[in-house]
A and B are shown apart, each in its own frame.
Chain A
Amino acid sequence: MFDLDPFIIRALAAGTGIALIAGPLGCFVVWRRMAYFGDSLAHSALLGIALGLLTGISSNLGTILVCSGFALILLWLQHTRILATDTLLGILAHAALSIGMVALSFAGNQRFDLHSYLFGDILTVRPEDLYWIYGGGVIVIALLLKNWLSLALMTIHEDLAKAEGVRTFWVNLMLMLLMTIVVAVSIRIVGILLITSLLIIPAATARQWVRGPEAMAVLAALLGLCAVFGGIFGSAYLDTPTGPSIVTSATLMFALLFPVSHLIKRTRMRSAL
C-alpha cells in the first residue's frame, strides 16, 4: 500500500460523492435533454460565487440561491411562451455570467482565483466542502429515489404521467432544483465550465450497455467513479490540472466503450438474422 496525502484522500472522497450523485441525475439530463440547461445553470453559478464573496455567506449557499432564482425565472419566462427555451437560456446564462464578473470586480481587492472556479480545484477541497457534497448528495439521491418512477414516466410521456396523477410541474421544478444543488457542490471539483460533462458523459457511456433505466443510473455512477479516480491519480502522476483530467478520463471511457458496444450490437443483429 502506498501512503496517500490527506489532500488526495479528501479529493477522492469529494470526487466519489459527486460521481455517485451525478450518475443518476445525469441520466435525466440525457433523457430530458437538459444539457444546455445544466450548462446555463453552471454559468449563472459565478454570480452566486460573487454574491457569496460580497455578502460573506458561503459560496455554496450563494450558488444554490442564485441558481434556484435562475431556474424560477426560466420557468416563468417559458410560461409566457414568447421565446424558445434555448434563447431564454442563452440570455439568462450569459447575463448571470457577466453580472457575476462585474460584481466580482467590486470585490477586487480580495484574492480571487477565477481559474479555480472555471476548471475546479479538487486538491484544495476542505472538510466543510465534503459536508456540502455528502449533505447535498443525500438530499438529491433521496428525492430522486422517491420520485424515480414518476420522473421516468414523465420522461417517456408527460401527458400520460399527468393523466395518471403525477404533478408534473412540481416534479420538474424539483429536478431543476436538484440540479442546482449538484452544480453548487461540484464547482470545487470540476469547475463551472465542466460540470455538465460530469453529468452527461457517464450517463451517455452507460446507455449502450443496459436495458433498464435503473441499470443505466447505477452504471453511470460507477463509470463516473472510475473517471474521478482515473482523473485524480492521472493528474497526480502526470502533473496535469485535476478537473480537466477527470473529464478527459470520462471522455476516454466513452471513446473506448461506445464503439465496442456498437460493434457488439451489430454482430448480435447479424447473428440474429
Chain B
Amino acid sequence: MNSLISAKQVSVFRDSQQILKEISLEIGERDFITIIGPNGAGKSMLLKCLMGFFSPDQGHVSARKGLKIGYVPQRLVADPTIPITAGRFLTLRRKVGKAALAAVVEETEISSFLDKPLAVLSGGELQRILLARALLNEPDLLVLDEPAQNLDITGQLGFYKLLDRVYRERELSVLMVSHDLHLVMSSTKNVVCLSQEICCHGEPRHVTKDPEFISLFGPDMAELMASYQHHHHQDHAHDHKHIHGRDHDHSETGDPAHV
C-alpha cells in the first residue's frame, strides 16, 4: 500500500488500436525503474497515463495522496519567438525561496547559463534546466521521458551521472523511459520491457538474459548489454584491487597483472 503510483490492468486504446495492454506496475519508494521497448511500444503513453494526463480505457491508476511528481520531458524545443531567459523559465509559475533555488542551481550546475535566452542553450544545458525545474518542486518521484535522447555521448554520460547523484542524494524514486540501458545499468534497480504489454521485468542483469528481451531486441543487443554489465562489474573489482594494491606496495602499480 506504500507505493507512490500503482497501476492495475491498465489498457489504452487509440484509433481502435490497443496501445497498452493490461499493464500492472507499482512504483515504490526509492525505486529506480527504467522502461525500455521498441518505437511505438507505448512508453510515452504509459508515462502520461501514470502521471494522470488521461484516464486509461480499462483498469485504473492510483497515486499516493499528495504525491509530488517532477517531470522531465524528452526535449524542449526552445522557440526563439518567445523571449525568456533560462533563469526565468526555471521559476516560471513556481514560488521558490532563494536558498532552495540556489541549492538546486548548484546541484545541477546550471549557474553559468541562467542569464542566457532559453533558445540559445545546447541540448545538454536544456535537459539540465528541465531537471532543475523538476527538482525545484521537491518531488517524491522523478518521471523522465528519454531525457538524453537528443544529446551527444558526452552529454548523455553527464546527464545520467547527474541523475544518479540526484537519485542517491535526494532519496527519491525515478521512473524513466530510456534506450540507454547500458548507461543507467548501475543506477537502475528494475527494468520493465514494454511492447504494448510488459514482456519482462526485473533486475537489469536478469532481464537482459530473458528470452523475451532477446526476442524483442535481438541477440546482439542482449549480448551487448551483457558485456556492459560484465565490464561494469569488472571495473569495480579492478578499482578495488588497484587501490588496495597501491596502498600495499607502490612498485606493484606498474605490474601488468593489475592492469
Taking Cβ atoms with an 8 Å cutoff, the residues of A that contact B are 30-31, 81, 149-150, 152-153, 155-157, 159-164, 166, 207, 210-213, 215-216
Q: CB within 8 A of B92: which of A30, A153, A159?
A: A153
* Given A157-B76, A207-B83, A211-B117, CB of A152 within 8 Å of CB of B71: no
| B71-98 residues at the A interface, CB under 8 angstroms | 71, 73, 76, 78-79, 81-85, 88-89, 92-93
Q: CB within 8 A of B83: which of A153, A164, A166, A216?
A: A216
5 contacts between A and B (CB under 8 A): A155-B79, A156-B89, A157-B76, A164-B71, A211-B117
* Given A153-B92, A156-B89, CB of A210 within 8 Å of CB of B83: yes
A163 (CB) vs chain B CBs: closest residue: B71
* Contact assessment for A30 and B81 in the assembled complex, using a CB-CB cutoff below 8 Å: yes
Q: In the complex the two chains form, what is the Cα distance from A254 to B151 in whole Å?
A: 37
If over half of A's interface residues share one DSSP class (helix, strand or loop), that class is named, otherwise mixed; here it is helix
Q: In the complex the two chains form, what is the Cα distance from A157 to B82 in whole Å?
A: 12
Residues of A within 8 Å of B48, CB to CB, are: 159
| B30-78 residues at the A interface, CB under 8 angstroms | 48, 51, 53, 69, 71, 73, 76, 78
B76 (CB) vs chain A CBs: closest residue: A157
Q: In the complex the two chains form, what is the Cα distance from A81 to B79 in whole Å?
A: 24
Residues of B within 8 Å of A31, CB to CB, are: 79, 81-82
* Contact assessment for A156 and B83 in the assembled complex, using a CB-CB cutoff below 8 Å: no
Q: In the complex the two chains form, what is the Cα distance from A157 to B93 in whole Å?
A: 13
CB of B93, distance to nearest CB on chain A (Å)? 4
* Contact assessment for A152 and B83 in the assembled complex, using a CB-CB cutoff below 8 Å: no
Q: In the complex the two chains form, what is the Cα distance from A202 to B83 in whole Å?
A: 15
| B114-153 residues at the A interface, CB under 8 angstroms | 117-118, 130, 133, 137, 143
**What number of A-B contacts does a CB cutoff of 8 Å give?**
63
CB of A175, distance to nearest CB on chain B (Å)? 14
* Contact assessment for B93 and A207 in the assembled complex, using a CB-CB cutoff below 8 Å: no
Query: Told that A162-B53, A163-B53, A164-B137 touch, could you supply 5 new A-B pairs with CB distance under 8 A?
Result: A149-B93, A156-B76, A160-B130, A163-B69, A216-B83
Q: CB within 8 A of B143: which of A149, A153, A163, A166?
A: A163
CB of B78, distance to nearest CB on chain A (Å)? 7
* Contact assessment for B93 and A153 in the assembled complex, using a CB-CB cutoff below 8 Å: yes
A151 (CB) vs chain B CBs: closest residue: B93
Q: CB within 8 A of B93: which of A30, A162, A164, A211?
A: A164
Q: In the complex the two chains form, what is the Cα distance from A155 to B92 in whole Å?
A: 12
* Contact assessment for B83 and A160 in the assembled complex, using a CB-CB cutoff below 8 Å: no
CB of B139, distance to nearest CB on chain A (Å)? 10
Residues of A within 8 Å of B88, CB to CB, are: 212
Residues of B within 8 Å of A156, CB to CB, are: 76, 78-79, 82, 84, 89, 92, 118
CB of A113, distance to nearest CB on chain B (Å)? 37
Q: In the complex the two chains form, what is the Cα distance from A166 to B51 in whole Å?
A: 13
* Contact assessment for A213 and B71 in the assembled complex, using a CB-CB cutoff below 8 Å: no
Q: In the complex the two chains form, what is the Cα distance from A162 to B143 in whole Å?
A: 13
Q: In the complex the two chains form, what is the Cα distance from A176 to B77 in whole Å?
A: 23
* Contact assessment for B93 and A163 in the assembled complex, using a CB-CB cutoff below 8 Å: no
* Contact assessment for B73 and A157 in the assembled complex, using a CB-CB cutoff below 8 Å: yes
* Contact assessment for B83 and A155 in the assembled complex, using a CB-CB cutoff below 8 Å: no
B130 (CB) vs chain A CBs: closest residue: A160
CB of A11, distance to nearest CB on chain B (Å)? 32
B133 (CB) vs chain A CBs: closest residue: A160
Residues of B within 8 Å of A152, CB to CB, are: 82, 84, 92-93
Residues of B within 8 Å of A160, CB to CB, are: 71, 73, 76, 130, 133
* Contact assessment for B82 and A159 in the assembled complex, using a CB-CB cutoff below 8 Å: no
CB of A87, distance to nearest CB on chain B (Å)? 18
Q: In the complex the two chains form, what is the Cα distance from A155 to B53 in whole Å?
A: 17
* Contact assessment for B83 and A213 in the assembled complex, using a CB-CB cutoff below 8 Å: yes
* Contact assessment for B85 and A212 in the assembled complex, using a CB-CB cutoff below 8 Å: yes
Q: In the complex the two chains form, what is the Cα distance from A214 to B196 in whole Å?
A: 44
* Contact assessment for A163 and B117 in the assembled complex, using a CB-CB cutoff below 8 Å: no
CB of B94, distance to nearest CB on chain A (Å)? 8
CB of B215, distance to nearest CB on chain A (Å)? 32
Q: In the complex the two chains form, what is the Cα distance from A145 to B81 in whole Å?
A: 20
B94 (CB) vs chain A CBs: closest residue: A164
CB of A81, distance to nearest CB on chain B (Å)? 8
Q: In the complex the two chains form, what is the Cα distance from A160 to B248 in whole Å?
A: 53
CB of B17, distance to nearest CB on chain A (Å)? 13
